[in-house]
């Protein structure tokens, strides 16, 4: 193909979605890898003595166009993929891994970086420059630069295999999710389901030329059915299908992928001189060691388990009284929890949903950002989108200066993976005196509008939207010099603080009054409902906490030990769950084979960070509540010391500058109702 016609090889600011074709990606990536190699070669061949500027800064700003194109490509592979894109991903991933290794195993380059690193005490570097230097040095040392040639070759081989296995794991999971359909043809099997869920199921069936109501494993279809459907057998069928993803001994099975990924990660860590993959990962986290993580999780377990067991016993008793259920199963959990919650608080999602129209919730998030940080969001149609559902905005400050471009993509579709995430199409950085502003994206999976109703969110979806928007603000408000330290480029157990802290505004009267308005009458949500939301916030918090701890411990079991002896994924997982199990074991189901966070995403040895960040967020929000949830002084401190600083300094240092003290876990335990 004619490289000159490739839009990726021209200067572009926002991603040129309308002009790119799938066939453009691979040639562009190959060409840009070669260009980046030339930039590296220029640094290595420089005859001047290595300095921070000619080596560390030059390396930081090398390969920028390649970074842009690969971020666009892999974002599409998550949000708008197809067979062709997946095939290209399998082809380019090894090339990119190889290129990454070409850099980290380049002896001439490492020699120059090491020379600057060894002389850092004599250099007059500021905090951000010192952090960048440390990060660059570690990117070599933690990736094999100090190894001999044989071991370097082993490392390259492991990294290529891992890149391919992680992609395969994700592809299998997406294919499993898309393959399952439960067509309901008898209306009585819809008993208990809210009207909106029934309408959405009918619309989905019609879109596939089927008669009846279609239920799938996509969250907006799966969650309402598991929560409201009276038909226990159909709930069981759906739960078993969801729990068996990647665990059917067929072409889409992930058991060997899980074992291979865990074993290769362990081998890689050993090669680099670390005891386990978790020891390797946690060196670059606030938690620092696996022992500290396990202690943290077990201390929480001690507090949460008695509460969880009490809640489970109450739920079991409630189900028995209500329907004569002798043994509560996993497919009963959401259903009876919702019924008990309705009884205790006279509150259910269907009561709340009319007050949470998607457009108004988005506007509410924007208003909260405006009140806290002075941001304005202006809808624009002048930049390309990768799908018609995507909404695009200019984000401006109080002086109408551009802060960021923002993409919002909120509805499920076949080419989009489940879940919710924040990502970026362009990082923030300062180069040649120009502060390049970031292009940030939020991707979620909420129920689409139907013929009779707009998109109405459950309260859980409202907090999800605010959560991802918190990550987005971390990206948007970035104000650092170097792209690799900008925005969400922070220690993994710190990255959830901005997202989780923003969820707190969803429970506050002052914030809810801005956007929780009935989609038909525009009536503000009644304050007794707000009170019930707050009271019910810690409902089954013991069980929820136990669930999160169980995932964190499973992660540490896979990555904090030598996995080479593991023969059977299911039995190993069962053992890992033994101290956190409430429900009977389901032999047909396995969590690990669908645990994308740790086997596909970046959460390996890091799942604990959700609870870790909850300690930070509860403590941080206590400060806001003390001074007022829209207090400008506290908001400015949070923006100046946390949101804008990215990874330029140690996160605990940044947190203490904002808060004036280290976080205290009591705030979380109190909020969760686990201590008085």
Residues assigned a catalytic role: 468
Q: What is the largest CA-CA distance in the chain?
A: 82
| String of DSSP letters for 626-656 | HH-TT-HHHHHHHIIIIITTTTSS-HHHHHH
Contact 563, 256 (CB under 8 A): no
Between CA 661 and CA 671 the distance in angstroms is: 19
Any residues with CB less than 8 A from the CB of 515 and at least 6 apart, and which?
A: 360, 361, 363, 364, 365, 367
Phi/psi class of residue 230: alpha, beta or left (left: φ > 0; alpha: ψ in -120 to 50)?
alpha
Rounded to 10°, the helix 127-141/107-118 angle is 140
Rounded to 10°, the helix 541-559/569-576 angle is 130
The two beta strands, 434-436 and 402-409, are unpaired
Between CA 324 and CA 318 the distance in angstroms is: 9
State the sign of the Cα–Cα–Cα–Cα dihedral 347, 351, 355, 356: positive
Which residue's entry shows tokens 């409202």? Answer: 462
3-state secondary structure of 122: helix
Instruction: Give the H or E element holding residue 423.
Output: strand 421-426
Q: Name the residue among 496, 474, 495, 508 with its Cα closest to residue 631.
A: 508
List Cα–Cα distances, 400 to 6, 344, 379, 404, in angstroms: 34, 48, 14, 11
Contact 478, 644 (CB under 8 A): yes
């Amino acid at each position: 193909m004619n490289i000159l016609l490739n839009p990726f090889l021209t200067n572009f600011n926002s991603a040129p979605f309308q002009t790119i074709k799938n066939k453009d990606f691979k040639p562009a990536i190959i060409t840009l890898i070669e260009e980046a190699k030339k930039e590296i070669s220029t640094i290595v061949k420089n005859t001047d003595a290595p300095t921070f500027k000619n080596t560390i800064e030059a390396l930081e700003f090398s390969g920028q166009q390649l970074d842009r194109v690969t971020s666009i490509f892999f974002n599409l592979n998550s949000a708008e993929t197809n067979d062709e894109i997946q095939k290209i991903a399998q082809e380019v991933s090894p090339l990119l891994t190889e290129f990454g290794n070409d850099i980290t195993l380049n002896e001439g380059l490492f020699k120059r970086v090491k020379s600057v690193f060894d002389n850092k005490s004599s250099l007059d570097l500021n905090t951000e420059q010192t952090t960048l230097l440390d990060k660059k040095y570690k990117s070599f040392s933690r990736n094999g630069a100090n190894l001999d040639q044989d071991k370097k070759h082993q490392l390259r081989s492991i990294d290529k295999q891992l890149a391919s296995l992680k992609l395969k794991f994700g592809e299998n999971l997406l294919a499993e999710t898309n393959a399952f359909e439960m067509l309901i043809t008898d209306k009585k099997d819809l008993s208990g389901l809210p009207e909106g869920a029934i309408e959405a199921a009918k619309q989905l069936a019609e879109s596939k030329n089927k008669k009846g109501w279609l239920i799938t494993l996509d969250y907006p279809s799966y969650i309402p059915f598991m929560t409201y459907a009276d038909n226990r057998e159909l709930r069981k069928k759906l739960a078993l299908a969801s729990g068996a993803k990647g665990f059917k001994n067929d072409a889409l099975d992930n058991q060997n992928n899980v074992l291979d990924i865990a074993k290769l990660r362990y081998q890689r860590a050993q090669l680099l001189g670390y005891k386990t993959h978790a020891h390797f990962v946690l060196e670059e986290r606030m938690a620092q060691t696996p022992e500290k993580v396990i202690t943290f999780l077990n201390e929480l377990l001690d507090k949460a388990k008695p509460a969880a067991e009490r809640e489970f016993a109450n739920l079991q008793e409630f189900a028995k009284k209500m329907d004569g259920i002798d043994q509560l199963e996993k497919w009963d959990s959401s259903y009876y929890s919702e019924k008990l919650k309705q009884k205790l608080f006279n509150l259910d999602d269907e009561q709340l949903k009319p007050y949470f129209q998607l457009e108004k919730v988005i506007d509410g998030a924007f208003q909260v950002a405006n009140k806290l940080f002075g941001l304005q969001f202006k809808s624009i149609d002048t930049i390309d989108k990768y799908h018609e559902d995507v909404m695009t905005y200019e984000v401006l400050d109080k002086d109408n200066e551009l802060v960021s471009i923002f993409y919002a993509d909120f509805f499920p579709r076949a080419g989009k993976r489940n879940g919710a995430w924040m990502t970026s199409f362009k990082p923030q950085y300062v180069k040649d005196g120009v502060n390049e502003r970031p292009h940030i994206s939020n991707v979620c999976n909420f129920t689409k509008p139907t013929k009779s109703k707009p998109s109405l969110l459950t309260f859980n979806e409202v907090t999800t939207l605010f959560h991802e928007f918190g990550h987005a603000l971390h990206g948007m408000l970035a104000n650092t010099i170097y792209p690799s330290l900008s925005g969400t480029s922070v220690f993994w157990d710190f990255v959830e603080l901005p997202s989780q802290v923003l969820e707190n505004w969803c429970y506050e009267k002052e914030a809810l009054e801005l956007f929780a308005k009935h989609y038909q009458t525009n009536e503000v949500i009644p304050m007794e409902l707000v009170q019930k939301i707050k009271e019910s916030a810690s409902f089954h918090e013991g069980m929820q906490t136990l669930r999160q701890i169980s995932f964190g411990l499973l992660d540490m079991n896979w990555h904090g030990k030598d996995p080479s002896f593991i023969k059977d994924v299911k039995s190993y997982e069962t053992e890992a769950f033994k101290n956190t199990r409430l429900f009977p074991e389901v032999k047909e189901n396995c969590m690990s084979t669908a645990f994308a966070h740790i086997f596909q995403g970046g959460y390996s040895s890091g799942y604990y960070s959700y609870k870790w960040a909850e300690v930070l967020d509860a403590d941080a929000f206590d400060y806001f509540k003390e001074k007022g949830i829209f207090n400008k002084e506290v908001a400015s401190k949070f923006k100046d010391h946390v949101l804008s600083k990215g990874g330029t300094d140690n996160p605990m240092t940044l947190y203490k500058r904002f808060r004036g003290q280290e976080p205290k876990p009591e705030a979380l335990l109190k909020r969760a109702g686990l201590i008085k």
